[in-house]
Amino acid sequence: MRNRSRSALASTPAGAGATVESPRADVLLTEARERTDALLASWADRLRDEIGGRHGEALAYALRTPGKRVRAALVLAAYRSVGGSSPGIMGVAAAVETVHAYSLVHDDLPCMDDDDLRRGRATTHRAFDVPTATRVGYMLVPVAAMVLSRAARDLRLKSTSLGRMAETLFQAGGIEGMVGGQWMDLEAEQRVLDLSELTAVHRGKTGALIQAACVLGGLAAESTATQLAALSGFGEEIGLAFQVADDVLDVTGTSDELGKTAGRDEALQKSTFVRLMGVEGARREAARLAHRAIQHLDNAGIASPSLATLADYIVSRRS
């Protein structure tokens, strides 16, 4: 699909002295959150009724916990950046957020980060119990596949496009991405990682799903190979930047601001970018990655004020 978003360039004069303003991050996130939350709530209600009992309640709880929906906002902005305009894209955003929700449920378990607080609420195993939360995490993976498949139908995509989207999402969520990164992270708990090891952990654990969100937006719009490569490059840089900023927030934010326990990295003696570079060094690194992310788009002629705003938000956010 041709890039039809160029006329929305933030720095492009709109005529008669006016300029088109960049969208504000809170506006982009609110749109993504409201639309994603509505979709996830309808899936949660349906699945709670179908599954029933404690597992149905716990699955609905995990799907309904209120996140920032950064990944959903990236899917939407990436889709629009290459000319996509169908409301069906929100199903793709919801599928990514479902994989993310599964990862948070399992990440908080006693065998991993062992946390009580997530998104300002009790973690799923605290609100229910460990076996229930463990099963619910696994159950969310096929739910994500169903949500994605329904979205591809709503978007009237060819089955080959659905295949590529499924491959992108589940490869990012698997051993080559999120699971692999988390695995390395757990194995590294007893030692200090160097920068290249830490980068590999976080490109997998956090970056891969964020990168996939950007690529999925492009795939849903049936964008060109050049555009897809640019969205992938953008997502790779911004995905790592997200984790660098997260490490900073873990030491500078409060539990109230973060909705999760602050200072957890220090308590678990984790290797972090802050440990290797200090707070200011990590902030500079996040900004450098965000700048590189935008360059990928510029080089491919993708002018997206929304993606630029989200890149900036990711490295300057307070929660």
Under the binding rule (CB under 6 A), the answer on residue 70 touching ligand GRG is yes
Interaction between residue 237 and ligand GRG (CB under 6 A)? no
In 3-state terms the chain splits into helix, strand, coil percentages (rounded to 5) of: 70, 5, 25
Binding span for ligand GRG by CB under 6 A among 43-51, 106-114, 138-146, 273-281: 106-114
Residues 6+ apart with CB under 8 A from 45: 60
Of 4, 64, 68, 121, which lies in the binding site for ligand GRG, with binding defined by CB under 6 A?
68
Nearest approach, Cβ of residue 311 and ligand GRG (Å) = 14
Neighbouring C-beta atoms of residue 34, cutoff 10 Å: 12
- Cα distances (Å, whole numbers) of residue 288 to 52, 84, 123: 48, 29, 33
Place of tokens 């506006």: 27
**Residue 124: how many CB atoms within 10 A of its CB?**
26
List binders of ligand GRG among 264-303 (CB under 6 A).
Answer: none
Cβ proximity to ligand GRG: between 1 and 109 the closer is: 109
Residue (107 or 237) nearer to ligand GRG, CB:
107
Neighbours of 257 (CB within 10 A): 14
- The single residue among 122, 127, 179, 276 that binds ligand GRG, judged by CB under 6 A, is 179
Binding window for ligand GRG (CB under 6 A); candidates: 39-47, 96-104, 138-146, 151-159:
96-104
Q: What is the full DSSP assignment across 173-191?
A: TSTTTHHHHHHHHHHGGGS
Q: How far is the CB of 135 from ligand GRG (least distance, A)?
A: 14
Min dist. Cβ of residue 99 to ligand GRG (A): 9
Q: Which of residues 190-219 bind ligand GRG (CB under 6 A)?
A: 205-206
Q: Which is nearer to ligand GRG, 105 or 155 (CB)?
A: 105
Q: Considering beta carbons, is residue 101 or 152 the nearer one to ligand GRG?
A: 101
The rounded radius of gyration (Å) of the Cα atoms in the chain is 19
Q: How many residues bind ligand GRG (CB under 6 A)?
A: 18
Backbone angles phi, psi at 16, to 5 degrees: 50, 40
- Of 103 and 123, the one with the shorter C-beta distance to ligand GRG is 103
Under a CB-based contact definition with an 8 Å cutoff, are residues 262 and 254 in contact? yes
Q: How far is the CB of 24 from ligand GRG (least distance, A)?
A: 18
Non-local (6+) Cβ contacts of 128 within 8 A are 54, 57, 58, 61, 136
Taking CB under 6 A as the criterion, which residues in 125-164 touch ligand GRG? none
Please choose, out of 36-44, 52-60, 98-106, 152-160, the segment that lies near ligand GRG by the rule CB under 6 A.
Answer: 98-106
Q: Where are the alpha helices (H) located in 52-172, listed in sequence order?
A: 53-64, 70-81, 89-107, 124-127, 130-154, 159-172
Among 81, 132, 182, 199, contact with ligand GRG (rule: CB under 6 A): 182
Q: How far is the CB of 296 from ligand GRG (least distance, A)?
A: 21
**Binding segment for ligand GRG among 56-64, 86-94, 105-113, 158-166 (CB under 6 A)?**
105-113
Distance CA(79)–CA(90), nearest Å, equals 10
Residues forming the site for ligand GRG (CB under 6 A): 67-68, 70, 100, 103-104, 106-107, 112, 119, 178-179, 182-183, 205-206, 243, 246
